[in-house]
């Protein structure tokens, strides 16, 4: 019996070559791989709630929650556990299967985790998968979240290693990789992706996908965000990414990370139905559902229901 060959070691160069394929060939390859690993008619639904908004000390150039910018996002305190669980019940009733909670921290204080762990336990008790994004974690903090029953931890790489310094100066790429290592060592699934449309070039987009695919284990969930340009942030005047180029990134994520959920995340509000349909064809199989993400708008739930119905796709 012939041994199954190992998956390819993806480099920025090999991913760039993949993304440069004729569009029809690239999408065909992505769709074929998608069908081999997933039901191509099913879309996983997540809902995202900001449990602590604004006042973040990081200087991420895309983020209106940074205290460095005047983007009209005031700082708030951490939400009460009961209020978060009420939002989770509403998300479940609307069809979400995963409930994601985000706090605008550089890293949580140990005392902050008391409430967050209670939130995780309460959301799990509702029958929902749980995900949090809290900034950088230590190994003991990751262990506490695992013991609370956390299913996924989100910590994005954002962009390629080469472009990263033009976007963020307050935390290094290695800092992000260290947190991902703590999460993986704790036995928590990883949600990790990036943002396109931040002034990067095609090589940087390929570098982001290669960095994600080259982690010791590919993230179980890969959010692909299109930059939402917010006044007051340094990237407010960036040129929006071309829809076809965006689909190429989605297709590359699907081909290089076959078993992962590839999620259409921020930026869907500005996408046409046709662009989203191409993303689903190219292997996207997850969306955020509901009127808002952390601080930016998301397509109305009714628009998503109508689109999925038109495409003959089911949410779950």
Which of 16, 117, 131, 171 is catalytic? The answer is 131
Is 192 annotated as catalytic? no
Among 188-192, 225-229, 242-246, 298-302, which is the least confidently predicted range? 298-302
Catalytic residue among 16, 60, 117, 192: 60
Residues 261-281: b if buried by 16+ CB within 10 A, e if exposed? bbbbbbbbbebeeebbbbbbb
Residue 141 has pLDDT above 80, yes or no: yes
Please tell me the predicted confidence (pLDDT) of residue 6.
54
pLDDT exceeds 60 at position 295: no
Average pLDDT over residues 181-190: 96
pTM over 0.85: yes
92 is catalytic: no
pLDDT at 1: 39
Q: Would you say residue 221 has pLDDT above 90? A: yes
pLDDT at position 170? 92
Cα–Cα distances (Å) from 7 to 34, 89, 217, in that order, read 16, 40, 12
Annotated catalytic, 117? no
**Averaged pLDDT for residues 141-145:** 96
pLDDT tens profile 275-290: 999 999 999 999 877 5
β-pair partners for 314: 42
d(C-alpha 80, C-alpha 65), whole Å = 20
203 near 193, Cβ under 8 Å? no
Q: What is the mean pLDDT of the chain?
A: 89
pLDDT score for 184: 96
> Is 279 assigned a catalytic role?
no
58-100 tens-digit pLDDT: 888 888 888 778 766 777 888 999 999 999 998 888 888 889 8
pLDDT band at 259 (very low <50, low <70, confident <90, very high): very high
Does residue 260 carry a pLDDT above 60? yes
Say which of 63, 117, 192, 279 is annotated catalytic: 63
State the catalytic residue, choosing from 98, 254, 263, 268: 263
Q: Is 56 a catalytic residue?
A: yes
pLDDT digits 0-9 by tens, 8-67 = 689 999 999 999 999 999 999 999 999 999 999 999 888 888 898 877 888 888 888 887
């Amino acid at each position: 019996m012939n041994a199954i060959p190992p998956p390819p070691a993806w480099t920025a160069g090999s991913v760039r070559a993949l993304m440069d394929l004729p569009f029809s060939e690239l999408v065909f390859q992505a769709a074929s791989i998608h069908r081999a690993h997933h039901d191509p008619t099913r879309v996983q639904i997540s809902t995202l709630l900001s449990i602590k908004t604004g006042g973040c000390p990081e200087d991420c150039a895309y983020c209106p929650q940074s205290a460095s910018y005047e983007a009209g996002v005031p700082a708030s305190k951490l939400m009460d556990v009961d209020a978060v669980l009420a939002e989770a019940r509403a998300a479940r009733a609307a069809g979400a299967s995963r409930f994601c909670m985000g706090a605008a921290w550089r890293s949580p204080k140990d005392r902050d985790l008391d409430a967050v762990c209670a939130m995780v336990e309460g959301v799990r008790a509702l029958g929902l998968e749980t995900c949090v994004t809290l900034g950088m974690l230590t190994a003991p903090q990751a262990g506490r979240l695992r013991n609370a029953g956390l299913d996924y931890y989100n910590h994005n790489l954002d962009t390629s290693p080469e472009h990263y310094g033009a976007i963020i100066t307050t935390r290094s790429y290695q800092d992000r990789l260290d947190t991902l290592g703590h999460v993986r060592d704790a036995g928590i699934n990883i949600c990790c992706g990036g943002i396109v449309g931040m002034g990067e070039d095609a090589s940087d987009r390929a570098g982001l996908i290669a960095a994600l695919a080259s982690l010791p284990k590919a993230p179980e969930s890969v959010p692909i965000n299109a930059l939402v340009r917010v006044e007051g942030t340094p990237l407010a005047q960036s040129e929006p990414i071309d829809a076809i180029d965006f689909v190429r990134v989605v297709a590359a994520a699907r081909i290089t990370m076959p078993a992962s959920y590839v999620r259409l995340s921020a930026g869907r509000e500005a996408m046409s139905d046709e662009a989203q349909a191409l993303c689903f064809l190219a292997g996207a199989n997850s969306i955020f559902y509901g009127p808002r993400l952390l601080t930016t708008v998301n397509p109305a739930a009714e628009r998503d229901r109508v689109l999925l119905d038109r495409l003959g796709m089911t949410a779950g």
